[in-house]
Structure 1
Amino acid sequence: MTDSFDELDPPFDVLEPATVLGPLVFNSPHSGSVYPQSFLEQTRLDLVTLRRSEDTFVDELFASVVERGYPLMRAFFPRCYVDVNREPYELDPRMFDGRLPSYANTRSMRVAGGLGTVARVVGDAQEIYGRRLPVDDALRRIETLYKPYHRTLRRLLTCTLRDFGSALLIDCHSMPSSAGPRDERPRGDVVLGDRYGTSCFPIVSETVETALRDLGYTVGRNKPYAGGFITEHYGSPTTGLHVLQFEINRALYMDERRQIRAAGFERVAADIAVVVDRLAELPLEELKPCRTAAE
């Protein structure tokens, strides 16, 4: 069950192993399910509808990485409250009373689609709010949740890069089993996003894809998800920092309508552990910045 609190304390955490065994870092930015009461009073939607935008249970699917020697960062706040996989100020001026900062990005495709840093819609373009929000509300969410989240993630990656000479971030997400009521075509099992080869060396994507295919999963690359802000912003393989976005089909492990774990949950979690072990076998030299993506 999802609880609602007036304050998010803490808003996120990092599950760290007793001993870090390699350069892998895992991040679940959209699995948060703690809805502030003030937010629930603002929205015109019920909680079930809001929760459809969550990457429900994704942090649990990847929980075994900690016992394998790698940290897992996870948000507790929901993405429809503030989305840390966006630029810090991707904001739609039509949503707010008051003037946005001059540096806000008000023209991105994500803002146009209603999915900025503070989202306008969830699910099948359902409007979250019945009236405009005070602009100070959006800025407060960014200052108190978004920025501390990224400071912590950046620190985690910096320490990993320092200790191992490289860092490999797996950004963990889930996707609906179809694009919506107008498109019932089933999606594949997993979509890997590496920003068309720019956010990590090819060996990273290839290793994960091969491991998944060996386990019987269908795997796509970059379509329809090439990787969001985190993948694009942090991925810098020529400096030793690699990022791969991992999107898994929710129908594999949960009942999407009732938002509960399905019979396949344990199998998917076990298979993810196999993929992580395969990644852990990559020689550090393959990830270090002395290599180039063309090698």
Structure 2
Amino acid sequence: MTVHRFADSVDLLPGAANSAVILHVPHSSRVIPPAVRADILLDERALADELDHITDAHTERMAAIAAGLAPVRPWRFVNRLSRLVVDPERFPDEREEMLAVGMGAVYTRTTHREALRAADFDPQPLLGEYFRPYARAMADAVADRVAATGRAVIIDVHSYPAEPLPYELHGDGVRPPICLGADDFHTPSRLTARAAEIFAEFGGVGINSPFAGTYVPLDRYGTDARVAALMLEIRRDTYMSEPGGPPGAGLERLAVALAALIDELS
């Protein structure tokens, strides 16, 4: 398998030529380059604790297992850096509601609303070095699938804690084992309904709570109906020890379910 790497921070792992599905894994890594680490105010212990809380641990492994099980192998777009470098799924401007808690595309506050970077930190160098190349690479991956198959389906693979963290703007919402994030334009109702059926075995599926929406490259967001997208948010206690512990048997079961969804989309 040829892995396409962009700026040493993103890998595109090829799937079948006739697959429209892209598994997007943006928050699974704990890697922070030394130059970026130098501007983070936390000591090593506090940083490790923050990474335990903010990282969607083991989601890359889950996606890899699912890809191997799927009869038609999907493509995988994997962020190799921590979201503490940049969060590629945030809006890079004032549209981003998480700016209210210091967690826009470049975080300045932690999950517990403590200082992560200096108050006067300039995010532009990180946006230029990491965020924009990531966005271009994902846009290119989607364009390639549309050109090859006439469509693209992005499955955004995430996890979230069983108990709300202080940074969450909508932490008072229900927290089912599976949360499906849907977009009015890019998420067909039949996709949401079928995903809900497939993941029902895990004890409950919610829509857009506690997290809502899904990721679509900005150059197609709200304009290209050939691009469908669904966010899969998995409550961490269904497959791992929280906050940053090892996976359990639930990971394999979830991968099987994800492979079933991929099969339907293929």
- CA shift digits 1:169-202 (9 cap, x unpaired): 111111111113898998211111112x322221
The 3 A distance-change label for structure 1 pair 185 and 162 is: closer
Q: Could you tell me which amino acid in structure 2 is paired with residue 75 of structure 1?
A: N
Cross-structure match for 1:60: 61
Percentage identity across aligned positions? 22
Segments ≥4 residues shifted beyond 6 Å: 181-186
> Aligned equivalents of 1:38 and 1:237: distance in 2?
37
- Give the secondary-structure state (helix, strand or coil) at the position aligned to 1:174: strand
Contact 2:175 2:209 (8 Å CA) reproduced: no
Q: Could you tell me which amino acid in structure 2 is paired with residue 83 of structure 1?
A: D
TM-superposed deviation, 1:237:
7.8
Aligned residue-pair number: 250
The 3 A distance-change label for structure 1 pair 224 and 164 is: same
Contact 2:177 2:202 (8 Å CA) reproduced: no
- Structure 1 residues not aligned, in runs of 5+: 1-7, 91-104, 281-295
Q: Could you tell me which amino acid in structure 2 is paired with residue 20 of structure 1?
A: A
Cross-structure match for 2:116: 128
Contact 1:161 1:240 (8 Å CA) reproduced: yes
Cross-structure match for 1:50: 50
Which of 186, 190, 196 lines up with 1:209 in the alignment? 196
Q: Could you tell me which amino acid in structure 2 is paired with residue 188 of structure 1?
A: P
Contact 2:25 2:158 (8 Å CA) reproduced: yes
- Give the secondary-structure state (helix, strand or coil) at the position aligned to 1:242: strand
The 3 A distance-change label for structure 1 pair 179 and 62 is: same
Q: When the two structures are superposed, what TM-score results if normalisation uses the length of structure 1? A: 0.76
> Aligned equivalents of 2:191 and 2:173: distance in 1?
29
- Structure 2 residues not aligned, in runs of 5+: 1-5
Cross-structure match for 1:289: none
> Aligned equivalents of 1:165 and 1:9: distance in 2?
28
| RCO comparison, higher one (Cα < 8 Å, 6+) | 2
Cross-structure match for 1:81: 85
- Give the secondary-structure state (helix, strand or coil) at the position aligned to 2:23: strand
- The question of 1:253 aligning with 2:239 is answered yes
Contact 2:67 2:259 (8 Å CA) reproduced: no
Contact 1:200 1:236 (8 Å CA) reproduced: no
Q: Which moved more, 1:53-62 or 1:267-276?
A: 267-276
- CA shift digits 1:244-289 (9 cap, x unpaired): 1111111111111343223422222223222322333xxxxxxxxx
Contact 1:24 1:169 (8 Å CA) reproduced: yes
Cross-structure match for 2:19: 22
Cross-structure match for 2:3: none
The 3 A distance-change label for structure 1 pair 156 and 150 is: same
TM-superposed deviation, 1:238:
5.8
- The question of 1:37 aligning with 2:29 is answered no
Compute the RMSD of aligned alpha carbons.
Answer: 2.6
The equivalences for 1:221-260 within 5 A come to: 221-228=207-214, 230-231=215-216, 233=218, 234-236=220-222, 239-260=225-246
> Aligned equivalents of 2:80 and 2:54: distance in 1?
14
Cross-structure match for 1:113: 101
Cross-structure match for 2:176: 188
> Aligned equivalents of 1:180 and 1:10: distance in 2?
31
